[in-house]
Structure formats: structure tokens, C-alpha cells
């Protein structure tokens, strides 16, 4: 494993955002010299000034601005590319904004990095690249079909309270497991599609340049400053908002949807490790999760207890297109980076509530 000492020059795009600002603080603690490039989009940041540690330079520019990006990248040793439009991406009318921000923006970063001779880049990918998680068919009495891609959920099943998907071959209800980095990619919305394309662009860049890249597939990130409308921890933010108004969190389906909630400070630690420890050649995708499977219902219950609020209500409501289960194996990140999550969910939620942001 190659590694870098403290004192590297880090360019961190999106460093004023939720995960970005936590990563800036982690880099500063690690003794790294950080420059943030962020557009400070009003629809993301409102009109707030970013709260950056002393000594951190801020370049206010869009990642589609090649001149600004070229200057910033050329003065860095490692590029950490977190900037992206991160909403759920369900409104097709926003497709051009997602593609411009995420695909074209990433292309500009990679173009500038190639010109500057950058040898390592860390990219914010996402668990949404998988679509559904890993499932296994244990058989219907006529045979077992092993690991399979789930069939689309049927409305009749959902109406009857059968929320887990079925085997496309025999119709048996599937058993969920942990998804690894070698799983097929199946983006289900525009945002997810841009993250898959970003990883593909990285592969082209590393082949052309001989550089290395680490694609961190963040799972359900939560913590102070957490935005509501994201594919990472939107449900946690929604539940917290309901509890703050002394309303019970409303949990869809049967509450058994499996997720992997990981605290933003643990994620920031992974970002730092990935920047300091290239593991190339080529692109190395790594899941960044807590290593603990938590259902949405369990998370709602813990949050209600932490906030001393009303117990969750399981509604049985559903959206047919929702992902039922997606939970990660983060063993590869521990093996290659020496990183693992350290903050238990209850402790992390308690600290988030106490912080009040």
C-alpha cells in the first residue's frame, strides 16, 4: 500500500457541503493542507457562508469552470471530488442539471487532473449505483437458484403485505444479504446514473494517465448538517423533523427495509484514508458503510428514544419502485485502507440531536 505523509496539498471539491465540510475538518486534523472548491449554489447552501477551519482556502467556482478548476487542480497533490448535485433525481425535468453538474463537472475535473499530472483522485460515488442490494433464492422446493437479481415487486404482493422481492425464476421470496463491490450496477434514477457514469469516466482517466482513483460508495450517511432531500439519509432527516414537531415518524411498508446508516465523521475518516493511501492501479471501488444492518423501523425507534418523542407508526404504505434492501459489506475498505466505522448508531443519533443542526 502506497501512502502519503502529512502536509499534502488536497483539493476538495464540494468542501462546503455536508460530507465535504466534515472531510475538510478531518483533513485539517490529519495535518493536510486543504483548498476547497465549491460553487456555493443557493439551492444547496441557501445564502449561508461556509464554516471552514482557519487556514483553509476557499475558491468559489463551479466545477464546470475549466479555467478555475485547472488552476485549483494544478496546485494540489491529490484531488478529492465530492461536488455533485445530490437530490433524489426523480424528476426527469432536472436531468440536464444532474448531467451538467455531475457528468460534465466530473469530466472537467478529470481533464484538469490529466493536464496537471495528478497521480491520485478520490471520487464520491454512492450505494445507489447498485439499485437493489444482494439477494439469494433459497428455493421453492424445486431447487435453489442462488444469488439472483430480484424481479420487480408486484402490486398484489405489496397490497398483501409481502414487501420482499421474489425470485424471477421460481417466485420464491428472496433472502437479502450484503452487497459487495463486484455486484452488478443497476442505477434506478438520474442521480444514480450519473454516479455510475462518473465511475466509468474515472476508469477511462486512469487508463489514459496511469494514475489511480478510489471510488467511495457512500451508504446512508447521517449526522450534523444533514440535508433532507438526499439519497443518503433523507429518511433520518424526515423522521427527525417529525419528532421535533412531536409527531410520530411514519414508517412505510413493514419497517423491515434494511439499510446501512454510517455517521458523517466516519465517512470523513474514510475520505482521508483514501486520499492518503492510493490502492491502484486503476479504479478501486470501496463500500463505505457502518458494517451494521439496521432496518428503517429500528432507526426510527432509536431516534424516537433519543429525542424522547412518540413511537414510530408503521403505516404499510408503499411506493412500488422503492429499493427494499441495500446493505453493504465494507470489508474491502478495512482490508485496503485500514478503515472501519467507529460510531454506533445510537451514539451518532444522540450527538446529532444534541448538535441541533
pLDDT band (50, 70, 90) for residue 237: confident
Instruction: Over range 240-249, report the average pLDDT.
Output: 93
CB neighbour burial string for 231-243, b if at least 16 within 10 angstroms, e if fewer: bbbbbbbebbebb
Question: Poorest-confidence range of 97-101, 135-139, 176-180, 255-259?
Answer: 135-139
Enumerate residues 6+ apart whose C-beta is below 8 A from 81. Answer: 13, 14, 63, 106, 109, 121, 122, 123, 124
Q: How do residues 50-73 score in pLDDT, each as one tens digit?
A: 889 999 999 999 999 999 999 999
Kindly list the distances between the CA atom of residue 334 and the CA atoms of 143, 203, 340, 356, in Å, as whole numbers in the listed order: 36, 22, 6, 31
CATH match of 9-132+179-222+262-290+327-342 with 3.30.2350.10: no
Q: How do residues 153-205 score in pLDDT, each as one tens digit?
A: 999 999 999 999 999 988 999 999 999 999 999 998 899 999 999 999 999 99
Q: What percent of the chain has pLDDT over 70?
A: 92
Question: Poorest-confidence range of 70-79, 233-242, 271-280, 283-292?
Answer: 233-242
Do 2 and 281 meet the contact criterion of CB atoms below 8 Å apart? no
Delimit the domains of the chain by residue range: 9-132+179-222+262-290+327-342
Instruction: Over range 305-333, report the average pLDDT.
Output: 94
Name the pairing type of β-strands 212-218 and 282-288.
parallel
pLDDT band (50, 70, 90) for residue 89: low
Of 118, 125, 123, residue with least CA distance to 72: 118
Per-residue confidence (pLDDT) for residue 1, from 0 to 100: 42
pTM of this structure: 0.93
Coil, strand or helix at 301: helix
DSSP string for residues in 189-233: SHHHHHHHHHHHHHHHHHHHH--EEEEEEE-EEESTT--SSSTTT
Amino acid at each position: 500500500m502506497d501512502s502519503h505523509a502529512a502536509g499534502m496539498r488536497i483539493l476538495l471539491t464540494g468542501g462546503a457541503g455536508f460530507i465535504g465540510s466534515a472531510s475538510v475538518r478531518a483533513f485539517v486534523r490529519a495535518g493536510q493542507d486543504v483548498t476547497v472548491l465549491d460553487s456555493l449554489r443557493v439551492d444547496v447552501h441557501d445564502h449561508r457562508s461556509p464554516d471552514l477551519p482557519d487556514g483553509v482556502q476557499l475558491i468559489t467556482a463551479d466545477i464546470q469552470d475549466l479555467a478555475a478548476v485547472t488552476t485549483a487542480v494544478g496546485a494540489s497533490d491529490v484531488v478529492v471530488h465530492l461536488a455533485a448535485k445530490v437530490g433524489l433525481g426523480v424528476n426527469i425535468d432536472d436531468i440536464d442539471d444532474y448531467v451538467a453538474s455531475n457528468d460534465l463537472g466530473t469530466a472537467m475535473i478529470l481533464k484538469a487532473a490529466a493536464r496537471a499530472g495528478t497521480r491520485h483522485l478520490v471520487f464520491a460515488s454512492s450505494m445507489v449505483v447498485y439499485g437493489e442490494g444482494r439477494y439469494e433464492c433459497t428455493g421453492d422446493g424445486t431447487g435453489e437458484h442462488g444469488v439472483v437479481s430480484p424481479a420487480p415487486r408486484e402490486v398484489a404482493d405489496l397490497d398483501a403485505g409481502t414487501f420482499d422481492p421474489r425470485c424471477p425464476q421460481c417466485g420464491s421470496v428472496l433472502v437479502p444479504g450484503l452487497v459487495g463491490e463486484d455486484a452488478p450496477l443497476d442505477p434506478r434514477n438520474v442521480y444514480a446514473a450519473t454516479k455510475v457514469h462518473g465511475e466509468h469516466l474515472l476508469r477511462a482517466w486512469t487508463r489514459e494517465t496511469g494514475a489511480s482513483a478510489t471510488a467511495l460508495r457512500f451508504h446512508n450517511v447521517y449526522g450534523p448538517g444533514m440535508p433532507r432531500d438526499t439519497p443518503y439519509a433523507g429518511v433520518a432527516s424526515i423522521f427527525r423533523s417529525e419528532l421535533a414537531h412531536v409527531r410520530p415518524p411514519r414508517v412505510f411498508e413493514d419497517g423491515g427495509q434494511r439499510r446501512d446508516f454510517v455517521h458523517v465523521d466516519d465517512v470523513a475518516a474514510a475520505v482521508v484514508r483514501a486520499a492518503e493511501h492510493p490502492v491502484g492501479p486503476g479504479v478501486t471501488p470501496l463500500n463505505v458503510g457502518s458494517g451494521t444492518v439496521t432496518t428503517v423501523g429500528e432507526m426510527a425507534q432509536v431516534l424516537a428514544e433519543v429525542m424522547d418523542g412518540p413511537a414510530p407508526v408503521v403505516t404499510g404504505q408503499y411506493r412500488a419502485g422503492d429499493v427494499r434492501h441495500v446493505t453493504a459489506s465494507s470489508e474491502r475498505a478495512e482490508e485496503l485502507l485500514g478503515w472501519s466505522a467507529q460510531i454506533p448508531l445510537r451514539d451518532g443519533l444522540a450527538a446529532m440531536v444534541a448538535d441541533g443542526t
